[in-house]
Amino acid sequence: MLNRILITGAAGGVGRQLRPLLAPMAQTLRLADIVAIPDAGANEEVVTCDMADAAAVSAMVEGCDAIVHLGGISTEQSWDKIRPANIDGVFHLYEAARMHGNPRILFASSNHVVGYYRQEEHLDNTALSRPDGLYGVSKCFGEAMASMYHDKFGVETAIVRIGSCFPEVSNRRMLSTWLSAGDLARLIERCFTVPRLGCPIIYGISDNATAWWDNSRVRYLGWKPEDSSEPFRAAVEAAGPAPDAEDPLAKYQGGAFTAEPIHKL
Ligand code: NAI
Ligand code: 15L
């Protein structure tokens, strides 16, 4: 069992799903976010921290032996919002990690790193990135930062290009992109306990019947997703007709993100 796992962005949708699932993996979960977390449980401690504040990030990381990095902007927004959280914030995280004993990191990257591939294309983790907006570009930056800190300083990171991690599958695209919180928690357990992690890119999807992403190059992790989007299929298909083939929702892996403008505010 680990001593202390840090979860950044713990107040968000993924963080809230993960908290009970990660509790058995560590004596203490340190929950961090820019917003308050009022409901800490018995083995949880709370740190309020803006990823843009280097000193606060260093203090947040000190004493942690593994980090699940979820904190930041999670949708397509203006560069003014993305830059401090997802660019400066990731730099601060990696600087803090190397100063405080190289804890392993799970970096929540995104499918929007490869959002402009078409849905009929199948990718493994050697595919070149094709980000679908500023948010996707910020995740490319985070992946590059992880790679550099691994090569230069030995910080090990699991770069997880999460598909869609929500409690339920709510549209047709998610039948391919869905990741259950349970499968993500099992992946985190593997990444934090495997003898040598390295700095692999992993596609974060459950064992969905339709999938665009191939994780065969990271079999050494021993991760086997157990959940599937299939039980949601009938309800999703009954909810409405399939979008037109030229609709971004049906055309690109990043779906609607490819149709977003460059936001100015
Ligand atoms: P979310 O938006 O619900 O949660 C993100 C959390 O980060 C929020 O609680 C927010 O307050 C916090 N945050 C924002 N700016 C911050 C800052 N400057 N300093 C500290 N904390 C800050 O997002 P969600 O869905 O929980 O996603 C978690 C992570 O996983 C994000 O990094 C997201 O980009 C990534 N991801 C999520 C996917 C999903 O399907 N939910 C898919 C792909 C990637
Ligand atoms: C993401 O990267 C977002 O953080 C999440 O809110 C979803 O939009 C997800 O991708 C998705 O593509 O479904």
Convert the pLDDT of each residue in 217-231 to its tens digit: 999 999 999 999 999
Tens digits of residue pLDDT in 19-58: 999 999 999 999 999 999 999 999 999 999 999 999 999 9
**Residue 55: partners with Cβ closer than 8 Å, 6 or more residues away:** none
Tens digits of residue pLDDT in 65-118: 999 999 999 999 999 999 999 999 999 999 999 999 999 999 999 999 999 999
Residue 114: what pLDDT? 99
- The ligand 1 atom at the shortest distance from the C-alpha of residue 71 is 7
For domain 2-259, which architecture applies?
3-Layer(aba) Sandwich (3.40)
Model's pTM, two decimal places?
Answer: 0.99
232: confidence class by pLDDT, cuts 50, 70, 90: very high
Mean local confidence (pLDDT), 246-258: 98
pLDDT greater than 90 at residue 211: yes
Residue 265: what pLDDT? 86
| Mean of pLDDT over the chain | 98
Spatial distance between the Cα atoms of 202 and 217, rounded to a whole number of angstroms: 9
The protein residue with its alpha carbon nearest to ligand 1, atom 41, reads: 165
Which of 135, 149, 203, 252 is labelled catalytic?
Answer: 135
pLDDT greater than 90 at residue 237: yes
Q: Which amino acid is at 126?
A: T
Residue 14 beta carbon below 6 angstroms from any ligand 1 atom:
yes
Q: Give the domain ranges of the chain.
A: 2-259
Spatial distance between the Cα atoms of 210 and 219, rounded to a whole number of angstroms: 19
First to last CA, the chain: 44
pLDDT greater than 90 at residue 140: yes
Query: 76 alpha carbon to ligand 1 midpoint, in Å?
Result: 12
pLDDT greater than 90 at residue 197: yes
Mean local confidence (pLDDT), 178-196: 99
Residue spans of beta strands (DSSP E) within the chain:
2-8, 26-33, 44-48, 66-69, 104-110, 157-162, 201-204
Query: 248 alpha carbon to ligand 1 midpoint, in Å?
Result: 23
Residue 202: what pLDDT? 99
Mean local confidence (pLDDT), 255-261: 98
Q: Is 135 a catalytic site residue?
A: yes
Half-sphere exposure (Cβ direction) of 63: Cα atoms closer than 13 Å: 10
Query: 241 alpha carbon to ligand 1 midpoint, in Å?
Result: 31
Residue 254 beta carbon below 6 angstroms from any ligand 1 atom:
no
